[in-house]
Amino acid sequence: MKINKHPQNYFDRLKKAMDSVDQSKVSEFIKRIHSIIGTEITIFIAGNGGSASTSSHMACDLSKTILGSTPRKKEVRLRVICLNESVPLMTAWSNDEGYEHIFSEQIRSLGRKNDILFVITGSGNSKNMVAAIHAAKNRGMATFGILGFDGGKAKKLLDDYLLVKSKDYGIVEDMHMVMVHLVTDWLKKNLQ
């Protein structure tokens, strides 16, 4: 493909992936998060690689950005923890017990009944994602995923999910970030 055709090709693939997302599920996703603002329920978020960055970004947006332009005046907030932000803890679990346990063991330590685990994953097949979902379910937590490709193993294990139907990691990761910003945008405009 010629270089001058590449931008339109990429945008076309991105639009196709955007059109594949079930908008009613996005609305349900927003409602679910909105319903727990101001409660003791904690949202745990986890991802690998590029999805780890998206997870960190989502935790930041749900913790601060949704508070809008006067955050210090807002008392009603969300409890959000990104599980891939403690490098010492992740490397300790990985070194001593195996990489597949880096999220599940944190869930076992911190997760409580009715908390929520959000996994962000392109393939849905990473062993540490699958283990985290199992650990959350064992603690009575709700599980939700933002997935790509065909959803992988995670799709069958999660209580609910948003799926970006694409086999292109770049497109999937772009769309996952769009979902994070879409949710953030609504909450920021509707947080009392």
In percent, the amount of the chain with pLDDT more than 70 equals 99
Whether 185 and 27 have beta carbons less than 8 Å apart is answered as no
Range in 13-22, 69-78, 131-140 with the lowest mean pLDDT? 69-78
In percent, the amount of the chain with pLDDT more than 90 equals 93
Strand order in the sheet with 116-121: 79-82, 42-47, 116-121, 142-147, 160-163
Give me the number of domains the chain comprises.
1
> How many other C-beta atoms can be found within 10 angstroms of the C-beta atom of residue 113?
9
With a CB cutoff of 8 Å and minimum separation 6, the contacts of 108 are 135, 139
Whether 117 and 111 have beta carbons less than 8 Å apart is answered as yes
Q: Which pTM was predicted?
A: 0.95
Q: Mean pLDDT across the chain, nearest whole number? A: 96
Task: Give me the pLDDT at residue 74, please.
Answer: 81
Q: Is the pLDDT of residue 102 over 90?
A: yes
> What's the pLDDT band for 100 if we cut at 50, 70, 90?
very high
> Residue 114's domain spans which residues?
3-190
With a CB cutoff of 8 Å and minimum separation 6, the contacts of 142 are 114, 115, 116, 117, 136, 159
Q: Is the pLDDT of residue 192 over 70?
A: no
CATH code, domain with 131: 3.40.50.10490
Q: Is the pLDDT of residue 40 over 90?
A: yes
The three-state secondary structure class of 118 is: strand
- Mean pLDDT value of segment 107-119: 98
- Mean pLDDT value of segment 131-158: 98
> What's the pLDDT band for 92 if we cut at 50, 70, 90?
very high
> What's the pLDDT band for 76 if we cut at 50, 70, 90?
confident
Q: What is the DSSP letter of 39?
A: S
